[in-house]
Amino acid sequence: MPPKWAAFCILFFVNCDKSTFVYNYVIDILLHIWYIYVIIKHKVGADMKIGILGAGTWGIALASLLANNKNDVTVWSALPDEIEALKKTHTHKNLPGAILPENIVYTADIEAACSGMELIIFVTPSAFIRSTAEKACPFIDNGTILASAAKGIERGTLKTMTDIIEDEIKKCRPHLEYKVAALSGPTHAEEVALGLPTSIVASCADEAVSLKIASAFANSCMRVYTNTDVLGVEICGALKNIIAIAAGILRGMGFGDNAKAMLITRGISEITRIGLAMGCDRKTFMGLAGIGDLIVTCTSVHSRNNRCGELIGKGKTYAEASKEIGMVVEGYFALEAAIELSKKYNVEMPITNAVYDIIKNNRELRDVMRELMSRNIKNELE
């Protein structure tokens, strides 16, 4: 830090009352200045070699963003036909209007997407994160950052996506040096691919790693925040999909804005309760990865979880709804793990249980809704 700035900071910290609004406001400004200083002065993360494992809508949207930021991006898919279509058209069938940068490299060879990379981002559906990490492990270099942009919890083990990646690395190459991180927030691929304003959270226990990731992503359309509460960020990302299914069910049943607001508010309360029981930071749930992601997932036309719920609310089975959507509905796959977490930590999760009853136990929608609305009166803050 330049000497004049250092002197100012020392004087400010010594003399200012730390309980005041001014103190907090100035601290926020100084952190933003330091963030910009690190990126510009040291060019942290500039022109990174990045491998993206997964060529679905989110993987391709991230590839487009990162390639436009002058990073060297390689995308891997296990589906050769998918790779060939991307090479030929520079478009993705589920990202209408988005033209992909021609400098993105596409491959069906996972070694090509991992070897020599500074950052590898896992963007497959959550059910395939373990098998993808197992395939990638032999080709990861020492010092690589491994980031998960998938959202889910593994049934049975109750591991998050970064836990799974670490688990597979330890099995395959226990002496490999690496860092793990999670990417989350209100970031629908359809908007990111078009360059619409978006904000994302880069979460790692090591703040320097989060900053490095942030500098690869940040531009005039993508605002990046860091967070050291990796578990909290991942719990939010997994459980909000279940609440989004519930929001869709309410809309499909013909309920209005009051019901939607109630559902989102009590949904974040439910997610926060389980997160606190697991040792997460309460502030994470009030941030982009928590309430921010929940709002967009419960209200957006781009949300496949929300759309799935709406179709169920209109009388379709989960199988019929998921077939019509044609893409992975992550909230469905998180249900079993969420119920297991609820039991393990003895935390009440009525909305999650209601969605489980509707989808897994084929309960009547209005019976479940009536039970939810008839629960014992309680203090909102509990």
Can you spell out the DSSP letters for 277-303? HTT--HHHHTSIIIIIHHHHHHH-TT-
Q: Where are the alpha helices (DSSP H) in 314-377?
A: 318-325, 330-344, 350-360, 365-373
For residue 38 the two structure tokens come to: 């690190």
Specify the residue for token string 């469905």.
332
Q: Which of 202, 205, 218, 227 is nearest to 285 (CA)?
A: 227
Q: Is 41 a catalytic residue?
A: no
Can you spell out the DSSP letters for 110-168? HHHHHTT-SEEEE-S-GGGHHHHHHHHGGGPPTTEEEEE----B-TTT--BHHHHHHHH
For residue 212 the two structure tokens come to: 């490095």
Give the separation between CA 378 and CA 10, rounded to whole angstroms. Answer: 48
Tell me, what DSSP letter sits at residue 328?
Answer: -
Q: At what angle do helices 318-325 and 304-313 cross, to 10 degrees?
A: 140
Which of 43, 240, 344, 378 does the annotation list as catalytic? Answer: 240
Residue at 8: amino acid letter: F
Give the separation between CA 207 and CA 218, rounded to whole angstroms. Answer: 16
Q: Would you name the residues annotated as active-site residues?
A: 240
